[in-house]
Structure 1
Amino acid sequence: MAAAQGSTGAQGAADPAVSLRFTVTIDGKSIGNFNTCSGLKVEVVMEQREEGGTNGFVWQLPSRVKYSNITLKRAVGPDSHKLTDWLISFANEATYKTACITAMTGDGEKVTSWNLDGVVPVSWSGPDLDVGANNVAMETLVLAHHGFLPSSGAGT
């Protein structure tokens, strides 16, 4: 029953992917932890080519690789200034950066990481500031990138 809930794997060992947080660094500088990371996606765009005299199939040829934007979300907190500081520095000198998104367990152990090349911010949205609301103040960062970089070591 525990395996069905996702808290343990098939062998009874703890499943590290149950409760994750995501640590993000830009050019080696931490911009903090995030609760949600979506958009880690690669798509190979295929071109179809028909060959004369061959009616049984169509050639599927890879043409380009597309990478989705990555969306990171978290509650506003002590690390929020690190993110806005990076956004200000990008506005002053717009250059591509490298980034690393590391999935961490609740105990702080690394599960895996994704190294990204050519990272730029697409958008940032801060919280709606309403003293009458009963919501957590959230911020959202959207990043574009040129692709993944090779892992720097085992287990990444």
Structure 2
Amino acid sequence: MSDDGSAQGAIWPLPKFRFEVDLGTELQGVSFQEVSGMDVENQIIEYRQSNSSLFSTEKMPGIVKYGNVTMKRGVFVNDNTFWDWHAEISMNTIKRRTVLIKLLDEQGKVTMQWQLNNAWPTKITSTDLKSDSNEVAVDTIEIAHEQLIITNG
């Protein structure tokens, strides 16, 4: 008999299809089609000590670099959320926000959360329009941020 996962103590990976995004204080529980680009990278510093007997460099961790997060969602009537946020940008001044990306379980409880600190929109791509298509109109927003904090449940 095969194991169906119902046994006590079975651990399964989390499904990634149920999530929501809070784009700041007034924009909570926004539904998105896709969220990608939640990555972090340490730049490498190569250094050779002067007294090293090896003719090679030592690699050390350097400055942390966060990738931009891309979010896609359907276009709704009278909803200019992305465009209004982007319109706040004015010559190096923008109201930066804390963006929360929440992975939810079957009951709608948060199982994992990604917090983007000092986030602001760098790019918005509106939907393409095709007269011979029946797809949903989708806007894309790219968000820059300065820190990514992951918390569980």
CA 1:28/1:54 → structure 2, altered by over 3 Å: closer, same or farther? farther
CA 1:90/1:107 → structure 2, altered by over 3 Å: closer, same or farther? farther
What's 1:51 paired with? 49
Deviations 1:53-98 (A, max 9, x none): 4217532122201000000112223694333333334459623222
Give the distance between the partners of 2:78 and 2:109, measured in 1 at CA.
Answer: 20
What's 2:142 paired with? 142
Counterpart residue type for residue 138 of structure 2: M
Q: Structure 2, unaligned stretches of length 5 or more?
A: none
What's 2:14 paired with? 16
Deviation at 1:51, TM superposition (A): 2.2
Give the distance between the partners of 1:113 and 1:79, measured in 2 at CA.
Answer: 29
2:38 to 13, 36, 40: 40
TM-score w.r.t. structure 2 length? 0.75
Q: Structure 1, unaligned stretches of length 5 or more?
A: none
Contact 2:112 2:150 in 1 (8 A): no
Contact 2:85 2:121 in 1 (8 A): no
TM-score w.r.t. structure 1 length? 0.74
Tell me the SS of whatever aligns to 2:143.
strand
Give the distance between the partners of 2:70 and 2:132, measured in 1 at CA.
Answer: 27
Give the distance between the partners of 1:102 and 1:39, measured in 2 at CA.
Answer: 15
What count of residue pairs does the alignment treat as equivalent? Answer: 150
Q: CA RMSD in A?
A: 3.4
Tell me the SS of whatever aligns to 1:26.
coil
User: Matched residues, percent identical?
Assistant: 20
Q: Which is helix-richer, 1 or 2?
A: 1
What's 2:116 paired with? 116
Contact 1:128 1:137 in 2 (8 A): yes
Tell me the SS of whatever aligns to 2:140.
strand
Contact 1:19 1:106 in 2 (8 A): no
Deviation at 1:25, TM superposition (A): 2.4
65-74 or 30-39, which deviates more: 30-39
